[in-house]
């Protein structure tokens, strides 16, 4: 293991190991944590490198929520895939006001590279997720970076969609749970984008999945979205999945939007369908 990566924890689960590591991030300019699940088929002494799925979590989360609540390790073990989950924002950066609100600042990085002076030095989650983290894990562990997929929930669903659409061919597939699909048009996104990117709304389009889908040119597999119909944030127009379906239709992007009666925004919902999402990605990662 490289000297830049420190193991924080390791637990045996479903024949593999759920680990958490820390490192000094150059993009975030702070100590960052990420989780990584190694299935039983992972062998650090072998020549074979395994495919990886990235999980991006939602507002208020750390790298811990997904690994403790989703049950994804069972399915990653069955399919022989690695799952990596970064934190949702930089931490302990001592930026004035960064912990005043649950939906902005700490725990709410929104997977953008901030341009506003107060935030731009540390809040670079987009570059961290798409550049620094893959390079780090690819050089430290036996991971095949030519076989990557990405998934996420809520704010992390937004992050997964934009990472996929902004980088044609980088990820084999994408799937999301209750994503913030059109952040330029919803209260959560507008607050975050104005804070991180400034008041010029034309700059927001670079991080809005609906806008990106309209102009997307590149290879694509089915985008899978699961949405609970008892999700309180769906009713508050924070998620706007139907807007994304319309944008995808304009560009002939294949999309599967599954709506589920009775399911909410929680990890109870995620854990119910996470096995299908891992299987969705494994289908493309093993090609």
Tell me which residues are annotated as active site.
Answer: 154, 231, 265
As given in the structure block, the two tokens for residue 260 are 């589920």
Which whole-number Å values give the CA distances from 97 to 92, 101, 126, 149, in the listed order? 12, 8, 21, 34
Q: Is 75 left (phi over 0), alpha (psi -120 to 50) or beta?
A: alpha
- Cα(16)–Cα(39) distance, integer angstroms: 4
Which whole-number Å values give the CA distances from 150 to 24, 47, 83, 122, 169, in the listed order? 23, 24, 9, 23, 12
- Cα(224)–Cα(220) distance, integer angstroms: 12
As given in the structure block, the two tokens for residue 215 are 């102009």
What is the DSSP secondary structure assignment for residue 186, as one 8-state letter?
S
- Cα(150)–Cα(270) distance, integer angstroms: 15
Q: Tokens 């990653």 label which residue?
A: 76
Q: Where are the beta strands (DSSP E) in the chain?
A: 5-13, 16-25, 30-38, 50-56, 82-86, 143-153, 174-177, 223-228, 255-260
Contacts (Cβ under 8 Å, ≥6 apart) of 166: 130, 206, 212
The dihedrals phi and psi of 276, each to the nearest 5 degrees, come to -70, -35
Angle at which helices 72-79 and 267-285 cross, to 10°:
10
């Amino acid at each position: 293991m490289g000297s830049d990566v420190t193991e924080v924890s390791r637990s045996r689960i479903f024949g593999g190991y759920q680990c958490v590591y820390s490192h000094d991030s150059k993009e975030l300019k702070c100590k960052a944590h990420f989780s990584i699940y190694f299935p039983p088929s992972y062998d650090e002494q072998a020549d074979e490198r395994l495919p990886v799925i990235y999980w991006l979590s939602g507002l208020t989360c750390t790298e811990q929520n997904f690994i403790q609540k989703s049950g994804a390790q069972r399915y990653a073990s069955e399919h022989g895939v690695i799952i990596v989950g970064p934190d949702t924002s930089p931490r302990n950066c001592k930026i004035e006001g960064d912990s005043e609100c649950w939906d902005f600042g700490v725990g709410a990085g929104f997977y953008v590279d901030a341009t506003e002076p107060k935030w731009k030095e540390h809040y670079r989650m987009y570059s961290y997720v798409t550049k620094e983290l893959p390079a780090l894990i690819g050089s430290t562990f036996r991971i095949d970076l030519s076989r990557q997929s990405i998934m996420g929930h809520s704010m992390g669903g937004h992050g997964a969609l934009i990472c996929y659409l902004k980088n044609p061919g980088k990820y084999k597939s994408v799937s999301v749970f209750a994503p913030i699909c059109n952040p330029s048009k919803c209260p959560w996104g507008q607050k975050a984008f104005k804070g991180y990117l400034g008041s010029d709304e034309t700059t927001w389009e670079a991080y809005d999945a609906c806008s990106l889908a309209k102009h997307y040119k590149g290879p694509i597999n089915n985008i899978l979205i699961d949405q609970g119909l008892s999700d309180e944030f769906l009713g508050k127009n924070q998620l706007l999945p139907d807007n994304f379906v319309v944008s995808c239709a304009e560009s002939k992007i294949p999309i599967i939007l599954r709506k589920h009666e009775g399911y909410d925004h929680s990890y109870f919902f995620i854990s119910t369908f996470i096995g299908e999402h891992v299987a969705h990605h494994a289908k493309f990662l093993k090609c």
